[in-house]
Amino acid sequence: MTEKEKMLKGELYNANYDKELIKERQNIKDLCFKYNMVNPLNFEKRIKILKKIIGKIKGDFFIEQPFTCDYGYNIEIGNNFYSNHNLVILDAGTVKIGDNVFIGPNCGIYTSGHPLEKDKRNKGLEYAHKIIIGNDVWIGGNVAILPGVTIGDNVVIGAGTVVNKNVPDNVVIAGNPFKIIKELN
């Protein structure tokens, strides 16, 4: 099994020496660099480059500059998506984002993690667990979403929150680690 196949299955893999994964990351880093250097007023060119980066796009979307991701092809975004400045998506695993999702500045969506065991970690092994974000979600600034998390529909995530476990539908959460602050109708 290749390192990419292991990555896509959520198993431990080594991305540091796999030529295919290195090349894919370099290609996307180049596209992200080009995107981030486009004049902010040139919306058409920005959208054109984003469509080359993002794996699957359902409808209207916009991502403010700068934006960075690892592979791009593992990212799916729904209709009416908006992200403010400095979104980082580590998409070694699938990142599926629903409709009507708004993300504040300086947020990170991280499918990648490393083993707790130092011997495995020191060999460069890592894993990637998918992240799913439901519909009608508002994510405040400086939020970190960790590997393997599913966020339900109609969720509001307060600024600075660390999302380290699944979030049910219809709630407001905040904190590190997060707590449910309020239920929504």
Which residue bears the tokens 């393997």?
148
129 is catalytic: no
Say which of 114, 160, 169, 170 is annotated catalytic: 114
Measured between alpha carbons, how far is residue 15 from residues 7, 113, 141, 149, 182 in Å?
8, 12, 29, 22, 40
Q: Which residues form the catalytic set? A: 114
